[in-house]
Structure 1
Amino acid sequence: MFRFFSFVAALSIFCSCSNNKPTQLSPDSVSTDTTVYTMKVLHQNDEDCDSTLSKDCRILDISYPEFTDQPALNDSLSKRIQSIYTTETSYSSVDEMVEGFMADYRRFKLDPNFNNRVYNLTSKTKLVRNDQLIGIVVDSYIYTGGAHGGTLLSFINWDGRARKQILLDDVLKPGSRDSLKAIAERIFRKNEGISTSDPLKQYFFEDNTFALNENYLFTPEGIRYVYNEYEIKPYSSGRTELLLPYSEIRSLLKPESAISHLYKAE
Structure 2
Amino acid sequence: MDTLNRLGMQSRLATTTAVLWALLALIACDKREPARAAPLASNVETREWRTPGCDAEERCTSVVIKREVFAERPALNDAVRVQLLEQLQGNGEAPGSTASNFEQVAKAFIADAAEASEISSAAWQLTGDAKKLALHDNLLTVAISSYIYSGGAHGMPVTHWLNWDLAENRQVALADVIAPGAEERFWSLAQTAHKQWMEAQEVDVDFRENWPFVRSDDFRLTDSGLKLLYGVYTLAPYSMGEIELTLPREKLTGLLREPYLSEPEN
Q: After TM superposition, is the score higher than 0.5? A: yes
Alpha-carbon displacement from aligned partner over 1:46-95 (angstroms, at most 9, x marks no partner): 345433x54x5572221112334222222221121112232642222233
Name 1:40's counterpart in structure 2.
45
Q: Which residue identity does 1:236 align to in structure 2?
A: S
CA distance in 2, matches of 1:184, 1:170: 17
1:220 aligns with 2:223: yes
* Residue 89 of structure 1 pairs with residue 97 of structure 2: yes
Query: What is aligned with 2:198?
Result: 192
Report the counterpart of residue 107 of structure 1 in structure 2: 115
Residue segments in structure 1 that go unaligned for 5+ positions in a row = 1-29
| 1:83-232 superposed matches below 5 A | 83-84=86-87, 85-86=89-90, 88-109=96-117, 111=118, 113-114=119-120, 116-127=121-132, 128-193=134-199, 200-203=208-211, 205=212, 210-232=213-235
Q: Supply the AA of the counterpart residue of 1:201.
A: E
SS in 1 for 2:82: helix
1 or 2, which has the higher strand percentage? Answer: 1
What displacement does 1:32 show? 5.6
Q: 1:186 offset after TM fit, Å?
A: 1.0
CA contact (8 A) 1:81 1:94 kept: no
**Count of residues in Structure 1 that have an aligned counterpart in Structure 2:** 222
Question: What are structure 2's unaligned runs of at least 5 residues?
Answer: 1-34
Percent sequence identity is 24
Distance in structure 2 (CA, Å) of the matches to 1:104 and 1:57 = 13
Structure 2 partner of 1:13: none
Instruction: Note if contact 2:69-2:77 (Cα within 8 Å) is conserved in structure 1.
Output: yes
CA distance in 1, matches of 2:37, 2:175: 26
More helix by share: 2
Q: Residue 32 of structure 2 aligns with which residue?
A: none
1:242 match? 245
C-alpha RMSD of the superposition:
2.6
Q: Which has the higher contact order (CA 8 A, sep 6+)?
A: 1
Q: Give the distance between the partners of 1:92 and 1:106, measured in 2 at CA.
A: 22
Alignment of 1:3-42 (within 5 A): 31=36, 33-42=38-47
Give the CA deviation at 1:185: 0.7
Contact 2:37 2:138 in 1 (8 A): no
- Check 1:32–1:48 CA distance in 2 against 1; reply closer, same or farther (3 A cut): closer
Of the structure 1 ranges 243-252 and 79-88, higher mean CA displacement relative to structure 2 is found in 79-88
Contact 1:181/1:211 (CA < 8 Å) preserved in 2? no
Larger gyration radius, structure 1 or structure 2: 2
Distance 1:32 1:139, change over 3 A: closer
Q: Give TM-score, length-normalised by structure 2.
A: 0.73
| Counterparts of 2:41 and 2:195, CA distance in 1 | 41
User: What is the alpha-carbon distance in structure 2 between the residues aligned to residue 126 and residue 91 of structure 1?
Assistant: 22
Contact 2:42–2:68 at 8 Å: present in 1 too? yes
Deviation of 1:143 (Å): 0.5
Deviation, structure 1 residue 245:
1.9
Deviation of residue 119 (structure 1)? 0.8
How far apart in 2 are the matches of 1:126 and 1:66?
A: 8
Correspondence for 2:26: none
1:252 paired to 2:255: yes
2:18 maps to which residue?
none
